[in-house]
A = this chain, B = another copy of it.
Amino acid sequence: MPELRKDPIVGRWVIIATDRARRPDQFAPLSPAPTTDSADACPFCEGREAKTPPEIFAVRPSGAANQSGWTVRVVPADDPILRIEGQLTRKGRGMYDLMPGIGAHELVIESPRHVANLADLPAPQIEQVLGAYVSRLSDLERDARFKYALLFKNYGRAAGAGTLVHAHSEIMAMPVNPVRLKDELHGARQYFELKERCIFCDLLRQEVESGRRLAVESRDFVAITPFASRFPFELWVLPRRHAADFTTMTSAERTDLAGLLKATLLRLRQALRDPPYNFILHTAPFRRHKPGAWHTVDEDFHWHIEIMPRLTRVAGFEWGSGFYINPTPPEEAAKFLREVEVATHV
């Protein structure tokens, strides 16, 4: 009998097909893994700094801005979806609300070398990437027009990646809070009002105790396959220490997270033959004053990263309803990820 499971945070029901579970080798890749194509023309490789707009930020052991010598580099998107210039004027048009598409759209180039998958970078390099994330989010927060910055990565065509395969992530700062974040904030607040505890902390405690959905763990972080996973091999990476805001990570935690992310992504690649995936940071919104609230987002929310391999097509049923069908129980996904052999030389 399949199971209907409810996500405790947003209240979304998911069908978990427990009795005809699909093993990792039963997923046909939705798109070929991005081949590390010819680096000859890649504008993200070291030495081709002139091929991107001037950098906003760089981790740069040597060299001047927009020259060689960097390890991580952040540039504005060439063809940004949201534009940085302009006044933020909210308007109505009859019953509708709109505003100009003001925001920031930045690309974080994660390596000077032509590498496609974050998993293939050395952990100290991933640590520098995390540092760049923190710097950019902290800086964007200072722009009073922005309410949130969405940090995400699309790896592989089926995950929505463009033609540039060189490892990079994107940051979009925006003047509104995305609806999925609002749902999470709302769910977390409701739980806190009832229990006076963070729902993610409770979830983490239960997952660590049971161990059934634990995929990878480190001193400061855990990667779990959530109870009501929407997608096969969906993973959430949570800090063990309660914190709403990603940028408050300590430097020791950052080192630890780099190692855990690398281990998690390597296991995912090994288990599923280099699948396309999306990686999305869920962190507290920039503006969190809430007049009249008895507690704050800092108390009730808990930042995390969601990793969603793209293994199945999402059908109309799921689009129209938000009601997902997942053919792989998360307990089995976690077990596969724990048991898969990862070559030690990588």
Contact = CB atoms under 8 A, between A and B. Distances in A.
Nearest to A327: B81
Interface residues of A, number: 73
Given A5-B97, A160-B315, A152 B320 contact: yes
Main secondary structure of the interface of A (DSSP, over half): mixed
Given A81-B325, A179-B12, A179-B323, A152 B101 contact: no
A178 interface: yes
Contacts of A176: 4, 6, 13
A175 B95 contact: no
A3 interface: yes
Contacts of A320: 150, 152, 178, 180, 278, 280, 282, 306, 308
A134 interface: no
A86 interface: yes
Interface in A170-195: 170, 172, 174-176, 178-183
A203 interface: yes
Interface in A147-162: 150, 152-154, 157-161
Contact of A317 (B99, B160, B306): B160
A202 B182 CA distance: 26
